[in-house]
Structure 1
Amino acid sequence: MTATIAPRREWPSYTSVWRWHFYAGLFCIPFVLWLALTGSVYLFRPQIEALIDRPYADVATTGPRERAARQSAAAVAAVPGSVLHRYQLPDTPTQAVQIIVGKDKAETRVYVHPQTLAVLKTVDEDQRLMRIVFRLHGEMLAGDPGSYLVELAASWAIVMILSGLFLWWPRGRGPAGVIWPRLSAGGRRFWRDLHAVTGFWVSFMALFLLLSGLPWAKSWGSYLKVVRSAVEGQPVRQDWTVGRSGEVRARGAADAGTRAMLEDHADHGGMPMADPAASYAPLDNMVATVVPLDLAAPVLIAPPTGPGQPWTAKSDAADRPQRTDLTLDPATGAVLTRKDFAERRLVDRLIGYGIAVHEGALFGWLNQLLNLATALGLMLLSISGAVMWWRRRPSGKLGAPVARVRAPAAIGFFALIVTFGVMLPLFGASLLIVLVADRLIVAKGGFRRL
């Protein structure tokens, strides 16, 4: 009687990890290149915006400056039908004053001469160069659908990096080809070493950048907000936007609230609306209160968003741990409440630190250079991976690694990916789709293992 030998499990195995690494890379490479390129440009936002605003950095001479209320009125008059949304304190006495005015969901930044009240420049907030780069990076200028797609790409890029680290693990090999590449080897070994060693050196920072960008994404950012609201028992106010639609809705709501406040001011014995400066007269008190506090620039002062609401002032510094939020008494300008970064909830502080590092703002130019090196490494990783795939791809085939029968070797890795899929529902759904496609659709044919 012949004994029956039970088939050995095919999955999860080293080859399965390699196969999933291939699929993740095939999907991610175009997006990783895009995110690395746009992210590299956005890293230098302070320098680029300073260069753009250089013509308006020294426009005033010594002498008296107009009051903030009159400066705001000039900005509002420059955009018919608008109201004041935010007044930005100038960094220097000679700098043009930047004032953001709005009409429904649209916002315009107006540069006003601080002495003559001449309007020097107007620009749609969404058409500012670095704002466009920000949206290219986070949503590819496609709104919420683009945000979903970028989140998927970032999630699969995390899988690509984790699976790459699993495949990179030395398993008894020496440092050559593991810690440094054998550049003189040529051919297949050259590309393999370039890909593997680059992946090792950039993996930690790349994972950090990918994970720290998720709170902005429409799907996971909204998911996090819902979970937090349920846990904390009240609606959560976050210091970052979640998707394009949420930002636009917040603009529209703030604009409607400000208009309601102005109408209430006119209907209850206030100064006549025919004089726009009178409507913003309390701003002068707010400026007098906020300037001595020396908050981290840029500092934005905003009117109430409804009758009976206070004025607000906040530091909008890119280095988020330096941020402070204030509420101000509408009558006197006195500080009613102050909330520094250290007083925020732990999750807000952790995400704030993560975003500051992500944007290259936490520790100055060293942060920028570290992020830039990571972005360049991701570009090299993507290009070398694409070259290896193209050189080894059988003619007319996708070239996915063949699923071989092996003993399980990566149960821990796949447990991590499953956990990741549960924590990020959008990624989890895509994981199931790819798994089904791998089993039922994709033909099993490929190339030899490196």
Structure 2
Amino acid sequence: MTTDDILEPTAPPAAPSTPRGTLRPVLLRLHFCAGILVGPFLVVAAITGLLYVFTPQLEQVVYDHELHVPAGTTAQPLSAQVATAENAVPEGTLYSVRPGPTATDTTQVVFKVDGLPESYYRTAFVNPYDGEIRGVLDTYGSGGPMPIRGWLDNLHRNLHLGDVGRIYSELAASWLAVVVAGGLVLWWGGRRRKRKVTTGRARTLSWHATTGTWVALVLFFLSATGLTWSQFAGQNISEVRAALSWQTPSVPSKLPGAAAAPAVDFDGALAAARTVGLDDPVEITPPGAGKAYVVKQIQRSWPERQDSAAIDPATGEVLNVLRFEDWPLAAKLARWGIDAHMGLLFGLANQIVLAVVMAGLIAMIVWGYRMWWQRRPAGRPVGRPFVRGSLRRLPMKVLVPLAAAGIVVGWFMPVFGLSLLAFLLLDAFLGWRAHRRRPTVARAGT
């Protein structure tokens, strides 16, 4: 199979007579070619996302020894548990402490360690009743994901290929919204057509379109939230959020005046945070030079609990409190969006919806390739795309805003813009080559 088999049309295009009629062939060709070329990346993203979505339950089983202990009667002070953990991880610098939220949970003491990959920490799991170290593991990111979730997260994000691998996920997230939007427009334009044929390509198209219509809203959501993690578009999104003051706020932790010697331990800081309503689960960050303790809630399921407080390490006074309800709306939406994308916001229901949508996306792509195969000409292994040349026949009142939108979106999402440009250049080259071949073929037949 050659590139021509994928991108070269078999017949000259008809001449549509209305702006809508001229736009539909463009969408058909774009939807077809983008689906063929980007489909494999979307399948990989869907499969890795499907593997990731149920990791919270999986890690409770795999890491049961590290995460859980039999309920006891009296817990040791947090400061004693931290001292035990520091002896177990002498190479680390204390980063935070997560007390067990229930009577059967271990205390997680988190350390920064030189030589670990970015966003990785070394965590000691301490039995709060007898101080036993239940295990020491390298954990990933915020919220304490265990190693298996960190491994699958990186598989989904970059295929364990570093920054180069992140291009795959950004390509998938960028094109997902475009392909889905094009498919919806095509479905809307052809929804009144009655298809009496219920076999072959017509039936496959019906399955493809119906599934796409049902899952489109969630796919748009996954595309938008996925781009916030991306390498290039994600940077642009961060800059926009910063310019509009939509960033996630943090509680002020700078100490007023000269810093006194710390006299309050982790237990005192936690007790002070309890007085302003910070219930479990929480994470305690130790004070740095001129800084206070920071105690913050880390519940990422609905209703989210993300309140935080700064505690004076010398007096135990609560210096500042930041409530989640006081976050900017955009910061709240970003928090909810990210947690829903990860399957955390609404628990099992959230996970099931994501799993169904990912399965639907994979099925749609398979049906798309099947339609390509079903429309193949006799003697060819695969089908041909919709005809070339429809873009040139767009009226200026359609072409100019369409091109302007493409430039703006391509600038904001560089991986999408460059891949679209590469596709257009390749398509133009193949068209030029096909045009050059036609006279030769004609002469050979005379």
2:166 equivalent in structure 1? 147
Q: Give the whole-Å Cα distance in 1 for the aligned partners of 2:16 and 2:403.
A: 18
Percent identity between the two aligned chains: 29
The superposition leaves residues 312-366 of structure 1 with CA deviations (integer Å, 9 ceiling, x where unpaired) of 1222222374312222211233322221222222321221222232223333333
2:388 equivalent in structure 1? 403
Q: Give the whole-Å Cα distance in 1 for the aligned partners of 2:384 and 2:63.
A: 51
Amino acid of the residue matched to residue 27 of structure 1?
Answer: L
The superposition leaves residues 371-400 of structure 1 with CA deviations (integer Å, 9 ceiling, x where unpaired) of 222111101111111222234345377833
Q: How does 1:9-158 map to 2 (within 5 A)?
A: 13-56=23-66, 58-104=68-114, 106=116, 107-126=121-140, 128-158=147-177
The superposition leaves residues 197-245 of structure 1 with CA deviations (integer Å, 9 ceiling, x where unpaired) of 111111111111111221111212211223343455xxx86489xxxxx
1:274 equivalent in structure 2? none
Q: Give the whole-Å Cα distance in 1 for the aligned partners of 2:160 and 2:390.
A: 45
SS at match of 1:173: coil
- Any stretches of 5+ residues in structure 1 without a counterpart? 1-6, 241-264, 271-278, 446-450
Indicate the larger mover: 214-223 or 364-373. Answer: 364-373
Match of residue 368, structure 2, among 378, 385, 391 = 385
For residues 189 and 239 of structure 1, do their structure 2 counterparts lie closer, same or farther at Cα, with a shift above 3 Å needed? farther
Match of residue 300, structure 2, among 307, 312, 318 = 318
For residues 359 and 93 of structure 1, do their structure 2 counterparts lie closer, same or farther at Cα, with a shift above 3 Å needed? same
Q: Give the whole-Å Cα distance in 1 for the aligned partners of 2:284 and 2:134.
A: 21
For residues 280 and 219 of structure 1, do their structure 2 counterparts lie closer, same or farther at Cα, with a shift above 3 Å needed? farther
Q: Give the whole-Å Cα distance in 2 for the aligned partners of 1:154 and 1:237.
A: 22
SS at match of 1:322: coil
Q: How does 1:238-387 map to 2 (within 5 A)?
A: 238=248, 282-291=265-274, 295=278, 297-304=280-287, 306-319=288-301, 321-387=304-370
Match of residue 219, structure 1, among 227, 232, 250 = 232
Deviation at 1:27, TM superposition (A): 2.6
SS at match of 1:110: strand
Amino acid of the residue matched to residue 201 of structure 2?
Answer: R
For residues 347 and 37 of structure 1, do their structure 2 counterparts lie closer, same or farther at Cα, with a shift above 3 Å needed? same
Q: Give the whole-Å Cα distance in 2 for the aligned partners of 1:349 and 1:286.
A: 26
Q: Is the CA contact 1:152–1:426 (under 8 Å) kept in the aligned structure 2?
A: yes
1:188 equivalent in structure 2? 201
User: So what's the TM-score if we normalise by structure 2?
Assistant: 0.78
For residues 420 and 389 of structure 1, do their structure 2 counterparts lie closer, same or farther at Cα, with a shift above 3 Å needed? same
1:255 equivalent in structure 2? none
Q: Give the whole-Å Cα distance in 1 for the aligned partners of 2:155 and 2:420.
A: 25
For residues 370 and 149 of structure 1, do their structure 2 counterparts lie closer, same or farther at Cα, with a shift above 3 Å needed? same
Q: Give the whole-Å Cα distance in 1 for the aligned partners of 2:423 and 2:84.
A: 57
Q: Is the CA contact 1:87–1:98 (under 8 Å) kept in the aligned structure 2?
A: yes
Q: Is the CA contact 1:60–1:115 (under 8 Å) kept in the aligned structure 2?
A: no
SS at match of 2:232: helix
Match of residue 229, structure 1, among 224, 237, 242 = 242
Q: Are 2:421 and 1:432 aligned?
A: yes
For residues 12 and 330 of structure 1, do their structure 2 counterparts lie closer, same or farther at Cα, with a shift above 3 Å needed? farther
Q: Give the whole-Å Cα distance in 2 for the aligned partners of 1:171 and 1:414.
A: 25
Deviation at 1:65, TM superposition (A): 2.0
Q: Give the whole-Å Cα distance in 2 for the aligned partners of 1:35 and 1:337.
A: 41
Q: Give the whole-Å Cα distance in 1 for the aligned partners of 2:48 and 2:335.
A: 21
Deviation at 1:151, TM superposition (A): 1.0
Q: Give the whole-Å Cα distance in 2 for the aligned partners of 1:60 and 1:82.
A: 28
Q: Is the CA contact 1:159–1:417 (under 8 Å) kept in the aligned structure 2?
A: no
Q: Is the CA contact 1:59–1:113 (under 8 Å) kept in the aligned structure 2?
A: yes
Q: Give the whole-Å Cα distance in 2 for the aligned partners of 1:117 and 1:172.
A: 66
For residues 424 and 72 of structure 1, do their structure 2 counterparts lie closer, same or farther at Cα, with a shift above 3 Å needed? same
1:423 equivalent in structure 2? 412
Q: Give the whole-Å Cα distance in 2 for the aligned partners of 1:377 and 1:12.
A: 30
Instruction: Give the superposed CA RMSD.
Output: 3.5
For residues 291 and 139 of structure 1, do their structure 2 counterparts lie closer, same or farther at Cα, with a shift above 3 Å needed? farther
Amino acid of the residue matched to residue 122 of structure 1?
Answer: V
Amino acid of the residue matched to residue 336 of structure 2?
Answer: Y
For residues 163 and 237 of structure 1, do their structure 2 counterparts lie closer, same or farther at Cα, with a shift above 3 Å needed? closer
Deviation at 1:60, TM superposition (A): 4.5
User: So what's the TM-score if we normalise by structure 1?
Assistant: 0.77
- Any stretches of 5+ residues in structure 2 without a counterpart? 1-14, 141-145, 251-258, 436-446
